[in-house]
Structure 1
Amino acid sequence: MKIQNPVLPGFNSDPSIIRVDETYYIATSTFEWFPGVRIHTSKDLVHWNLVAHPLSSVSLLDMRGNPASGGIWAPDLSYADGKFWLVYTDTKLTDGSFKDMTNYLTTATDITGPWSEPIRLNGVGFDASLFHDDDGRKYLIQQTWDHREYKHPFDGLTLTEYDVKAERLLPETARTVYRGTEVKLVEGPHIYKINGYYYIFAAQGGTVYTHEEVVARSKTLDALSFETQPGEVFLTNFDTPFNYIQKQGHGGLVATPSGEWYYASLCGRPWHHPNESLTDPRGWCTLGRETSIQKVEWDEAGWPHIVGGHGGTTEVEAPKDAIFTEAPENHSQYNTFDGSKLDSNFNTLRVPFDAKMGNINDEVPGHLRLYGQGSLENPFDLSLVARRWQAFNFNAETKVKFKPTSYQAMAGLTNYYNDKQYSWIFITWNEINGAVIEVAQNNRGNYTSFLKDEAIKIPEGTDYVWFRTKVRKQTYTYEYSFDGQTYLEIPVVLDAAILSDDYVNQTMGGFFTGAFVGLAAVDYSGYRTPADFDEFRYEELPDDSVKDFFAPGLR
């Protein structure tokens, strides 16, 4: 078998990978999307299944009011003493001099839970991970934030001992163990003990195209005792601009039962507009930061290297002892809302789906009812249910019943990155035609209605309206139908780059998620006009366009 990167496509970043017996687990970041943390499992490192969202209650995670790209940063999953340990950060600020955050710890004897009530650890810095030493002691290592404008904000990696019995950190033991290199921005640390050495694997260079992973080691955990691996950096795509996989760095190391080594990393897959250089801009990653896996070998001096070079490869040899894992061939999804729970691929923003937001198969059988709340820019009260883009080419559609009596009420299908970057096709009302269809986009906070007074009148007596979006890598469009058979395209072609990390990074400090597609209802008048969605379909299409942007052999 071959590992085909990325193994977790579409917004699955900051992977923390472990193995328990024959099973591998990867935990990834979810930022402001709820529930918090995604955990996938595999026994072959090739095929992966989503099995858990550990932070599925407000007692474990309350992100109401969090900014875009706040929330869950870089969870750390480990296994020791017969249970899983999950450390996670809830970040409350993303822009500015401060990064107010809290690190928590929760445990479970089964990966699917239940997970214990969280233990509050500290707010020293993000990307915290727990190291279980072979003498039974435990340590938290983390990025350290410095708000002072005359200092670099990334103040090295702090190690602090954790008292298991007291369920708290021992701040008097805190010390800086590693400051990274002159690349700066050292973060995402994990410690491993191998052949008598403590190894720190840490990210540097920022989670953009200059991203990299550096390795350092020491015989002790003393302050500033770690030396950086000599020679070339462990993993980076900074100097491999033609590789299909880019941005590799932040991640974790794992050994197979037979002693092979692999490294799971975040990555990105940029595309370009036809008139753009392949190297500047490096590209637009509309699928967000994904997860790749590279094979690792060790040299005689005990230092690790990526097989095939520090830029990694798209195709990687699977472990010799891999156990084939059944998994879906793609991530297509179809929902008729006949059950009582949301599909596990669906997410909400900041808070769980509850009666305030709506209900499933309750008031209207076979429907998802969403009550109109705040606008799509509201970080507190929002009725939005969405799923990740996980392919460059896909169609998504829905069937909705909505009876607005005000332009302040809207409901429909959205492609969404964050509160400043989204678009949608929706039913609303205007003074000319009553119930109408409109398409609008928010680009860097500038809201544009494309149809305006030419909004499409919904014929009298129409019960349902069907909406569809067609995403085709660089661009996407919206369509509507009044019978579910004949679709008419709105003559507005939108630039998908606007829904990418790279575009958002040009103006905002929070740019860590990826594009979503989903269902939304707004009624900022406060009257909670309901929208009833009868179905949702997300259908991935083959990606035949990679060859248009990458030279042969680099796919």
Structure 2
Amino acid sequence: MPQVRNPILPGFNADPSIVRVGDDYYIATSTFEWYPGVQIHHSNDLANWELVTRPLNRKSQLDMRGNPDSCGVWAPCLTYDGKKFWLVYTDVKRKDGSFKDTPNYIVTAPSIEGPWSDPIYVNSSGFDPSLFHDDDGRKWFVNMLQDHRRRPRSFAGIRLQEWDPKVGKLVGPVKTIFYGTELDLVEGPHLYKRNGWYYLLTAEGGTAYEHACTLARSRDIWGPYETHPQKYIITSKDAPLAALQRAGHGDIVDTPDGKSYIVHLAGRPTTQFRRCVLGRETAIQEGYWGDDDWFYVKNGPVPSLYIDLPASRDDTKYWAEQRYTFDSGNGLHKDFQWLRTPEPERIFTIEDGKLQLIGRESIGSWFEQSLVARRQTHFSYDAETVVDFSPTDERHFAGLTAYYCRYNFYYLTVTAHSNGQRELLIMSSEASWPEGRLKFPLVEPVQIPNEGKVRLALTIRGKQLQFYYALEEEELKKIGPVYDASILSDECGGHQAHGSFTGAFVGMACSDINGTELRARFDYFIYRPAHHESDRYEV
């Protein structure tokens, strides 16, 4: 069988949930505060994947305005009951401190492309919901249970209750069926049934370097559940030199020919600080069912960088330059997302072959900011755009940003001095949690003519980020110092340990904090992958 290098979904694609329908495989992953919600990729061979839909794409399904960084859509679970697809998800409204506000919802669709229904509210007792379709036709809802009285963490086990689709609500008794192991922080539950056993796969140890997949089983869905002989079927917690770190939060799938695989999240840290600029990615491992009716990961529990799959992977598109143009007939390219708002018409339009960003709140706002970006999926790359923007003071700024969250970004802006003179200014916010302040002193601004388009670019080579600019008909030239690109990572995302969950993006932004809706027009956007000697674990 061909060997494929992990991850199969590079870049920010966390908390994978996989389902097979006939010969088709689908993986749903978390999107947190990025809109539209939930990414669903499709494959026929487990090696080559294509983004096919983001189902939570209208206000009635998802409105994340005001959600803090790394809140929003957590750990979706995608299943199929023979008639339709079911997607359950949490829209987290608060996560830090003693309390977590975690409403859970269900949407359904006759096909993966939709139409996806409006959501039905389920509960708010915890996050990471999952739906299990038993062979007797009953449906069961599980989620982690939170208890704000617990110290230091509020994780209180896995809660089970029956879901009645006829009445659209949970019914009958409710019980905590699994409390996890001593690794603690049990979450991410998935239920399966095989040979009369109910299997419960969970994630434990948090989302950082102690993460793991734990498997347990019972003859009765209500328990008691005994843990796997290995306890943790996937983990890198005891293998600090493994290529795939932070391994955990998985889901099992069987192939038509009887093989078994598990998809799971993982991170590929770089630099001596072990920073995952690509966030938590989706990897896959081959597994098998032993004579003892337990699932084992081949060569596990440490995940393998290379895996045998039914097909080889075509990486041509992965390494190709992506030049994005803006056509109102085609809409925004599917690689792009924006933050939180279900009303994108308030932050951007596509007119006359240009992406027009409508100046809204400051970069990093949790409510309404005009930022359109795509995932960083390579350790090294170039990005470029051309902007037409006529600011009149320092509260107007638009340009090119390498962005993780409100606490962590680099931003090359076209702005103006208070006297109206247009200038280029670099703004950065380097791991400044909890203040989220700009780093001072700012780099000295560069005056430019008050009219005319400006070409903006950046290069990232490993941990080094360099900005460039050019006026019309000129060649690109450097502006500002070399910055540390590795801080655009989960480990520097502005939160305490286990608190930042996304990944680096690069894109275009526009702010008008005068409130006059000044607009910036972008001609195109280029993302060009690059090979670099420091990229040890590049796909």
The normalised TM-score by structure 2 is 0.95
Q: Identify if the C-alpha distance between structure 1 residues 509 and 233 changes in structure 2 by more than 3 Å, giving closer, same or farther.
A: closer
Q: What is the alpha-carbon distance in structure 1 between the residues aligned to residue 9 and residue 421 of structure 2?
A: 44
Write out per-residue CA displacement over residues 510-548 of structure 1, whole angstroms, 9 at most, x where no aligned residue: 30001110100001011111101111111111244234x
The residue type equivalent to 2:293 in the other structure is G
Quick check: 2:217–2:226 contact (8 Å CA) kept in 1? yes
Matches within 5 A, 1:237-316: 237-272=236-271, 276=272, 281=273, 283-316=274-307
Shift of 1:100: 0.4
| CA distance 1:202–1:249, shift in 2 (3 Å) | same
Instruction: Letter of the 2:445 partner, please give it.
Output: A
- Indicate whether 1:501 and 2:490 are aligned: yes
Query: Which residue number in structure 1 is paired with residue 360 of structure 2?
Result: 373
| Residue 72 (structure 1) shift | 0.2
Per-residue deviation, 1:312: 1.6
SS at 2:384 equivalent: strand
Question: Helix, strand or coil for the counterpart of 2:230?
Answer: coil
Displacement of 1:507 in angstroms is: 3.8
Residue 71 of structure 1 and its aligned partner are, at CA, apart by 0.4
Matches within 5 A, 1:462-473: 462-473=451-462
SS in 2 for 1:193: strand
Call closer, same or farther: CA 1:327–1:218 in 2, change over 3 Å: farther
- Relative to structure 2, which stretch is displaced further, 325-334 or 427-436? 325-334
- RMSD over aligned CA atoms reads 2.0
Give CA-to-partner distance per residue, 1:31-80, whole Å, 9 cap, x none.
00000000001011111000010001011101111110110000000000
Deviates more, 1:440-449 or 1:42-51: 440-449
The 1:447–1:64 alpha-carbon spacing in structure 2 relative to 1, beyond 3 Å, is same
Partner of 2:426: 439
Q: Which residue of 2 aligns with 1:175?
A: 175
Matched to 1:199, the amino acid is Y
SS in 2 for 1:82: coil
Distance 1:470 1:411 in 2: 19
The alignment status of 1:357 with 2:347, answered yes or no, reads: yes
Cα distance in structure 2, aligned partners of 1:417 and 1:468 = 18
Moved over 2 A (4+): 149-152, 322-333, 352-355, 448-452, 504-510, 542-547
Using the alignment, how far apart are the partners of 1:243 and 1:204 within structure 2? 19
In 1, the alpha carbon distance for the partners of 2:388 and 2:328 equals 19
Secondary structure of the residue aligned to 1:122 is coil
Please state if 1:418 is matched with 2:408. Answer: no
**Matched position secondary structure for 1:247:** strand
CA distance in 2, matches of 1:109, 1:206: 35
Distance in 1, Cα, partners of 2:131 & 2:473: 52
Secondary structure class of the residue paired with 1:493? strand
Cα displacement string for residues 238-280 of structure 1 (whole angstroms, at most 9, x for unaligned residues):
11111111111102000000000000000100001xxx3xxxx
> Deviation at 1:394?
0.5
What letter corresponds to residue 310 of structure 1 in structure 2?
A: P
Supply the distance in 2 between the matched residues of 1:39 and 1:78 (Cα, whole angstroms).
12
1:317 aligns with 2:317: no
1:327 Cα deviation (Å)? Answer: 8.0
SS at match of 1:518: strand
* Residues 1:336 and 1:292: Cα distance change in structure 2 (over 3 Å): same
SS at match of 2:487: helix
Q: Post-superposition shift, 1:328? A: 2.9
1:436-455 superposed Cα distances (whole Å, 9 cap, x missing partner): 00111012212036655x31
Corresponding residue for residue 216 of structure 1: 216
Asked whether the equivalents of residues 491 and 497 of structure 2 are also in contact (C-alpha less than 8 Å), the reply is no
Asked if the contact 1:94/1:509 (under 8 Å) is kept, the reply is: no
Any residues of structure 2 matched to 1:389-408 within 5 Å, and which?
389-408=376-395
Q: Number of matched residues? A: 533
Match of 2:448 in 1: 458
Q: Within 5 Å, which residues of 2 pair with 1:87-102?
A: 87-102=88-103
1:144 aligns with 2:145: yes
Change in Cα spacing, 1:543 to 1:167, as seen in structure 2 (3 Å) is farther
- 1:95/1:509 contact within 8 Å kept: no
Give secondary structure in 2 for the equivalent of 1:375: coil
Deviation digits for residues 339-389 of structure 1 (CA, Å, limit 9, x no counterpart)? 34111010010013533212102xxx1101111111012111211101110
Residue 234 of structure 1: SS of its match in structure 2? strand
Structure 1 stretches of 5 or more lacking a match?
A: none
Secondary structure in structure 1 of the residue aligned to 2:118: coil
Conserved? CA contact 2:42–2:51, under 8 Å = yes
Alignment CA distance shift 1:256-1:505 (3 Å): farther
Residues 239-248 or 254-263, more deviating? 239-248
Shift of 1:472: 1.2
**Whole-angstrom distance in 2 between the partners of 1:451 and 1:96:** 32
Residue matched to 2:186: 186
Could you list the runs of 5+ residues in structure 2 that have no partner in the other structure? none
Aligned-residue offset at 1:494? 1.1
The amino acid that maps onto 1:238 is: K
SS of residue matched to 1:18? strand
Counterpart residue type for residue 414 of structure 1: T
Which of 519, 533, 539 is the matching residue for 2:522? 533
One-letter identity of the residue aligned with 2:243: Y
Distance 1:152 1:399, change over 3 A: closer
Aligned to 1:348: 338
Q: CA shift at 1:128, angstroms?
A: 0.4
Q: Match for 2:326 among 318, 321, 337? A: 337
Q: Distance in 2 between matches of 1:291 and 1:490?
A: 36
- Residue type at the aligned position of 1:346: F
Q: 5 Å matches for 1:36-185?
A: 36-150=37-151, 152-170=153-171, 172-185=172-185
Matched, 1:523 2:512: yes
Contact 1:407–1:430 (Cα < 8 Å) also in 2: yes
Shift of 1:151: 7.5
The SS at the match of 2:15 is coil
Sequence identity (%) = 43
More displaced, 159-168 or 297-306?
Answer: 297-306
